[in-house]
Chain A
Amino acid sequence: MTTPLPDFALALPEIVLLAGACALLIFDLFARGERREGSVRFAGLVLLATAAATLFVLLGTGGALAYTFNGLYVADVMALLLKLGATLAVALALAYSRRYLHDRGLLKGELLALLLFALLGMMVMMSANSLLTLYLGLELLSLCLYSLVALNRDSPVSTEAAMKYFVLGALASGLLLYGMSMIYGATGTLTITEVARQVANLQANSAQHGFLVFGVVFLIAGLAFKLGVVPFHMWIPDVYQGAPTAVTLVIGTAPKLAAFAMAVRLLVNGLLDLAADWQQMLVILSVLSMAIGNITAIAQTNVKRMLAYSTIAHMGFMLLGLLSGVVGGNWLNAAEAYAAAMFYTVVYVLMSLGAFGMLVHLSGKGFECERLEDLKGLNRRSPWQAFIMLLLMFSLAGVPPTAGFYAKLSVLSATVAAGQIWLAVVAVLLSLVGAFYYLRVVKLMYFDDPAETAPALEGERDARVLLSANGLALLVIGIVPQPLMGLCFVAIKSL
């Protein structure tokens, strides 16, 4: 019996990345020198090749929906664009944190390999068209992240953070798997497109429908954990604070894109006909996240912890977009709402890259820039870096004309179009609360005197140039959001 060969070309990005990561493991054996120049450059090349392969597939398919590997894998514009974004985010994170990692003796071949494998996990999730591959990708990503957090072995804080992350992550995986098993039980298939077809044919009040909703509850719980929204957010502050800042930079950025892709694959691709059920759950998660995230962040004195709570709030805001797609059984609003959510996620990743990147950049040898006081008087020490940080904070707070403002605006307009006026009002009010702690950072940088013990800034020039580009990109996207928004539209339309 012969089976036709799957279309390997569609999975070229993953193949290139996997081969590159394995090659890196071998290459690093022969690499010399403390700074691991060769290995870092090799990792950069692998990332570049992955991005090139993604572009190649994007141009090759012309954005047409294509399945391969017996329906386990889907290549659509959303997957490919998010892959490009994740590759860029990992590359930037590596560029920002190179000196930081080297100073702390963490710049080893294993770290680079784990980074690449984490990216592979994200890509698998983005292209998953089966509950099986979605779960495997998620585990690949999570395992890499757990060990990255623990990589600083001599720090008890990091070890504790890794332990918490691991235990809670395992629990969330269990919830997710349980939900998936319920969905499998109700529909008899693991393929997401097939699940969607089965769900569409179900009678509204049949026993299977109850089964499905029961499964969806667990699915949402697992998903909420990965996104880090209340009440499944407990790990976020501890992990963000405990991990070395360079690792926080990785955890807080690209995986959010993967989590967004996972949410879209499960909820929109698979269970759109149950939208009435899962949208209600998302409302609760979203409001709670925005409230607890924004209010708790005010009380933080540690910048990393503050940004962790800000992540929770932002992810809650992003959910607003996901939950306003379907109104009263018709999804005319869906493309706008999901595109707005995607835009929000991408912009958030850019802001988060910049903010954590700046913290990494300001940290020196034997000095961690992680308390609010460490940012005092930054304007006097380095006006340009203070300005970039100002842009980042304004964007996080949603002050026009930065990208953060436009992202919030588009999500809010989708929410209003869905008729959820009260949700939009709550979101605006809570964002106002959030603006307080972002602006406090600005105040500390511009109006306070630097601490006398503040060490000299010693960041490298490459990282500074990239950080500046990152900050300015937010300004540019804020003024001209149409290209990125257009891409998000095309991506959502391609589903």
Chain B
Amino acid sequence: MFETAVFYAFAAILLVAGACVVTARNPVHAAMFLVLAFFTASGIWLLLRAEFLAIALLLVYVGAVMVLFLFVVMMLDINIERLREGFWKNLPLAVVVGGIMMAEMAAVLAGRYFGVAPRPLARAADYSNTKELGRLIYTDYAYAFEIAAAILLVAIVAAIALTLRGRKDSRRQDPAAQVRVRRSERVRLVSMPADKE
């Protein structure tokens, strides 16, 4: 009973937040509503006993991706009026697409073949799916996990190799050159006549 109440509360917040993301006038506000939506979604996942996914969603999306998003939104000079142009013109198409998606979801969720189990199987109170996931990743799938790590490393190396350029106009120190410098390169003795004009 209590769980149902919490679910409906979270679901209501999630829907309102989702609607606000697309209607908010200020892009920063929209991003903040998206954070709220993620946060509530992770609450719902907790209710579904997927605590690892819930925490990962918070850490990865709220903690990293959305912060990056906010930075980008703040850095870019977005012309809100330009973005809102054609809202009414595109609305019918959006309604049609949204309607089709809703119908498909309904077919999947209510259909005979894809009917989802209403509740996950009951587990012991101390059952931890984080632990189970960790056990699988580090035992059965350790090899695949290592390769995935190598792929990430390659992504880092490639991204840096492809984009990092030493800019010609950037000023930076070269300590080795600073240490090697000789007096004659820095100080020039000029003999000048000592009289005053």
In the complex, what's the smallest C-beta–C-beta distance from A120 to chain B, in angstroms?
6
B187 located at the interface, meaning its Cβ lies under 8 Å from any Cβ of chain A in the complex: no
- Bin chain B's interface residue count: 20 to 34
In the complex, what's the smallest C-beta–C-beta distance from A294 to chain B, in angstroms?
35
Query: B131-170 interface mask toward A, CB cutoff 8 Å, 1 = contact, 0 = none?
Result: 0000100011111101110110111011011100100000
Partner of A1, one of B135, B160, B162, B165: B135
A327 located at the interface, meaning its Cβ lies under 8 Å from any Cβ of chain B in the complex: no
State A82–B78 Cα separation when bound (angstroms): 54
B144 contacts A143, CB within 8 Å?
no
Residues of A within 8 A of B162 (CB): 147, 150-151, 153
B161 contacts A151, CB within 8 Å?
yes
State A66–B141 Cα separation when bound (angstroms): 17
A140 contacts B144, CB within 8 Å?
no
A117 contacts B150, CB within 8 Å?
yes
Name the residue on B nearest A140 (C-beta): B151
B143 contacts A133, CB within 8 Å?
yes
CB within 8 Å for A6 and B151 given contacts A25-B157, A151-B162: no
Residues of A within 8 A of B150 (CB): 18, 117, 120, 140
State A18–B139 Cα separation when bound (angstroms): 19
State A136–B116 Cα separation when bound (angstroms): 30
A69 contacts B143, CB within 8 Å?
yes
A6 contacts B143, CB within 8 Å?
yes
Partner of B142, one of A18, A69, A114: A69
A72 contacts B161, CB within 8 Å?
no
In the complex, what's the smallest C-beta–C-beta distance from A420 to chain B, in angstroms?
38
Name the residue on A nearest B147 (C-beta): A136
Residues of A within 8 A of B160 (CB): 110
Residues of B within 8 A of A137 (CB): 147
In the complex, what's the smallest C-beta–C-beta distance from A303 to chain B, in angstroms?
27
A144 contacts B143, CB within 8 Å?
no
Residues of B within 8 A of A11 (CB): 143
Query: A136-167 interface mask toward B, CB cutoff 8 Å, 1 = contact, 0 = none?
Result: 11011001101100110100000000000000
Residues of A within 8 A of B154 (CB): 114, 117, 140, 143-144, 147
B139 contacts A113, CB within 8 Å?
no
In the complex, what's the smallest C-beta–C-beta distance from B40 to chain A, in angstroms?
30
State A11–B140 Cα separation when bound (angstroms): 15
A143 contacts B155, CB within 8 Å?
yes
State A144–B150 Cα separation when bound (angstroms): 11
Query: A103-131 interface mask toward B, CB cutoff 8 Å, 1 = contact, 0 = none?
Result: 00000101101100100100010000010
State A123–B49 Cα separation when bound (angstroms): 39
Residues of B within 8 A of A25 (CB): 157
B143 contacts A110, CB within 8 Å?
no
State A111–B157 Cα separation when bound (angstroms): 10
State A268–B63 Cα separation when bound (angstroms): 46
Residues of B within 8 A of A3 (CB): 135, 139-140
CB within 8 Å for A147 and B147 given contacts A70-B140, A70-B141: no
B147 contacts A140, CB within 8 Å?
yes
A73 located at the interface, meaning its Cβ lies under 8 Å from any Cβ of chain B in the complex: yes
**Interface residue SS majority, chain B:** helix
State A150–B139 Cα separation when bound (angstroms): 37
State A17–B18 Cα separation when bound (angstroms): 48
A136 contacts B157, CB within 8 Å?
no
Query: B163-196 interface mask toward A, CB cutoff 8 Å, 1 = contact, 0 = none?
Result: 0010000000000000000000000000000000
CB within 8 Å for A136 and B153 given contacts A70-B139, A72-B143, A114-B161: no
A457 located at the interface, meaning its Cβ lies under 8 Å from any Cβ of chain B in the complex: no
Name the residue on A nearest B158 (C-beta): A147
Name the residue on B nearest A2 (C-beta): B139
In the complex, what's the smallest C-beta–C-beta distance from A141 to chain B, in angstroms?
10
In the complex, what's the smallest C-beta–C-beta distance from B130 to chain A, in angstroms?
15
A114 contacts B158, CB within 8 Å?
yes
Partner of A136, one of B151, B158, B161, B165: B151
In the complex, what's the smallest C-beta–C-beta distance from B15 to chain A, in angstroms?
31
Residues of A within 8 A of B143 (CB): 6, 11, 69-70, 72-73, 133
State A132–B141 Cα separation when bound (angstroms): 10
Which of B143, B144, B151, B155 has the most chain A CB atoms inside 10 A of its CB?
A: B143
Which of B142, B157, B165 has the most chain A CB atoms inside 10 A of its CB?
A: B157
In the complex, what's the smallest C-beta–C-beta distance from A458 to chain B, in angstroms?
27
Residues of A within 8 A of B142 (CB): 6, 69
A476 located at the interface, meaning its Cβ lies under 8 Å from any Cβ of chain B in the complex: no
Residues of A within 8 A of B141 (CB): 70, 72, 132
A136 contacts B135, CB within 8 Å?
no
A22 located at the interface, meaning its Cβ lies under 8 Å from any Cβ of chain B in the complex: yes
Name the residue on A nearest B164 (C-beta): A110
Partner of B144, one of A110, A117, A136: A136
Residues of A within 8 A of B155 (CB): 143
State A23–B161 Cα separation when bound (angstroms): 17
Residues of A within 8 A of B135 (CB): 1, 3
Name the residue on B nearest A113 (C-beta): B157
Residues of A within 8 A of B139 (CB): 3, 70
Of residues 54 through 104 on chain A, the ones whose CB sits less than 8 Å from some CB of chain B are 69-70, 72-73
Residues of A within 8 A of B165 (CB): 153
In the complex, what's the smallest C-beta–C-beta distance from B80 to chain A, in angstroms?
32
In the complex, what's the smallest C-beta–C-beta distance from B8 to chain A, in angstroms?
34
In the complex, what's the smallest C-beta–C-beta distance from B136 to chain A, in angstroms?
10
In the complex, what's the smallest C-beta–C-beta distance from A163 to chain B, in angstroms?
12
Which of A72, A73, A108 has the most chain B CB atoms inside 10 A of its CB?
A: A72
Residues of A within 8 A of B151 (CB): 136, 139-140, 143
In the complex, what's the smallest C-beta–C-beta distance from A223 to chain B, in angstroms?
20
Which 6 A-B pairs have CB atoms at the shortest separation, nearest pair first? A147-B158, A110-B161, A69-B143, A136-B147, A3-B139, A70-B140
Given A72-B144, A133-B144, A143-B158, 5 more A-B residue pairs with CB atoms under 8 Å apart are A6-B142, A25-B157, A69-B143, A70-B139, A117-B150
**Would you list 14 pairs from A and B whose C-beta atoms are within 8 A, ordered by A residue?**
A1-B135, A3-B135, A6-B143, A22-B153, A108-B161, A110-B160, A111-B161, A114-B161, A117-B153, A117-B157, A144-B158, A147-B158, A147-B162, A150-B162
